[in-house]
Amino acid sequence: MNPSQLPVWRDLQQHQRRLAAQSLARLFDAEPQRAQRWTREAAGVRADLSRDLIDESALASLLELARAMRVEEWRARLFNGEAINHTEQRPAWHTALRTPPADAATSAALAAERDRFLALAEQLRAGQIEGATGKTIDTVICFGIGGSDLGPRLVTEALGAPSGPKLHFVANIDPVELDAALAHANPGSTLLVAISKSFTTLETLANVRAALEWMRERALALDAARHLVAITSMPARARAFGVAAERVLTFPDWVGGRYSLWSACGFPIALAHGRARFEQLLAGAAAMDLHFATAPLADNLPVLLAALGVWYVNFCGLRARAVMPYAQRLRHLPGYLQQLEMESCGKSVDRDGAPLSYDTSPIVWGEVGTTAQHSVFQFLHQGTHACPVDFVTCAGFADSPIERERLLFMNALAQADALACGDRVLGAAQAKPAHAATHGGRPSTFITVPQLDARSLGALLALYEHRTFVQSVLWNINAFDQFGVEIGKQLLTQRLTR
């Protein structure tokens, strides 16, 4: 189904022309209670949509588009584990990792593998795992790239200071990252964790081999197998690589890399913060799953955010979205969301392989606040390309006993208001010269979690997952393959075999 051929698509074009003559300031004037009326909450995550360039009529048409594109049917298929990733003939059932599926056998198998990797994480945290020379493992280096790295790295840092063994992440094949991780490590007390779904990922395996060579150079008699853990969907390949069978942790092949932090790929999170907090992360995501699965479309937060995403790209012509987390611990959120959305929705053909006549994924970018205010906000306020912004912060900062956290929250609010209404928010009686004037009309969504804890973070990330999925349904594309990633790998293989 081509959404641009539906009558409601033309209705939305008319809504855009109507609202283009409006301003956000006028929308607030016409609706004094706009902030309250346009705020939604799900699983503790609150989103204030009042600064988005939208009104009730346009929203109603966006929801009509969602119904016409059968969002509710596709949502059911996602949760039922149907093969909605049709190009690879498999489900995209990452929700089953945190919301137990009805099938008892599948649920039991997932729980058993979860127990395996969480138990290993707890043993390492308790100092119960020794290397080949009898030294307790005190350093763990996790090797992955893309979804095998971005999600675990984000969550590990977002949950605050880790406990347990020293933990490092290595993704880039550039030797600098691995060299830094090995700089203060001891071969006899270091564990290498290779995270690769296929267990053929060139960067990951090349880095692991380099680390193994580093071990052998410094400890000639070292049994490297005692210092290896693999996390993969292809256990036979991991065993062939030299990983002991009991150290191979697995996850199903229907778990896509960018949706994998809820699986054994989340082992680094459990290692850094413990089993209980990892389970709280799952519980927060499950709470968002329940909301997404049951809430009416008009109150369904992932659906509303997805509808706004399509509204800005296809009707307002805004082909980028900025993500500005106002929390240093969320500094990796923009990078994580870049992959989640741009790899999922960066497609140019529909589910039947037909070329698209409309745009799909926006460019997703961002920087942590408040440092972004001193770098990119000039572009956001006065640049020629309007760009919607997601402000993401912690509601608890608003009345924090720490003054700088209160200032952080007030900065986020101030920037959102300034983008929306421009100089008007200052109440200035005299007009500014053109070079100093900011006219507003720049939309944003203000998203808060109650605290930066595991449950809230799980709900937030699941919200963005479901938002991305709904956008793919509205665009009639497959969100769960990424063949555009493969061509570079294939060309590299050709070069290596010449």
Q: Which positions are annotated as active-site residues?
A: 343, 374, 489
Q: How far apart are CA 329 and CA 368, in angstroms?
A: 9
* Sign of the torsion formed by the C-alpha atoms of 228, 229, 233 and 235: positive
Terminal CA-to-CA distance of the chain, rounded, Å?
A: 44
Q: What are phi and psi of 452, to 5 degrees?
A: -85, 70
Q: Give me the amino acid identity at 205.
A: L
- Report the half-sphere exposure of 264 (CA within 13 A, side-chain side): 29
Total Cβ atoms within 10 A of residue 305? 23
Q: What are phi and psi of 48, to 5 degrees?
A: -95, 110
3-state SS of the chain? Answer: CCHHHCHHHHHHHHHHHHHHCCCHHHHHHHCCCHHHHCEEEECCEEEECCCCCCCHHHHHHHHHHHHHCCHHHHHHHHHCCCCCECCCCECCCHHHHCCCCCCHHHHHHHHHHHHHHHHHHHHHHCCCCECCCCCECCEEEEECCCHHHHHHHHHHHHCCCCCCCEEEEECCCCHHHHHHHHCCCCHHHEEEEEECCCCCCHHHHHHHHHHHHHHHHHCCCCCHHHHEEEEECCHHHHHHHCCCHHHEEECCCCCCHHHCCCCHHHHHHHHHHCHHHHHHHHHHHHHHHHHHHHCCHHHCHHHHHHHHHHHHHHHCCCCEEEEEEECHHHCCHHHHHHHHHHHHHCCCECCCCCECCCCCCCEEEECCCCHHHHCCHHHHHHCCCCCCEEEEEEHHHHHCCCHHHHHHHHHHHHHHHHHHHHHHHHCCCCCCCCCCCCCCCCCEEEEEECCCCHHHHHHHHHHHHHHHHHHHHHHCCCCCCCHHHHHHHHHHHHHHHC
Burial-class residue 286 by CB neighbours within 10 Å (0-12, 13-18, 19+). Answer: buried
Least Cα distance to 467 among 341, 313, 338, 295 occurs for 341
* Sign of the torsion formed by the C-alpha atoms of 217, 219, 225 and 230: negative
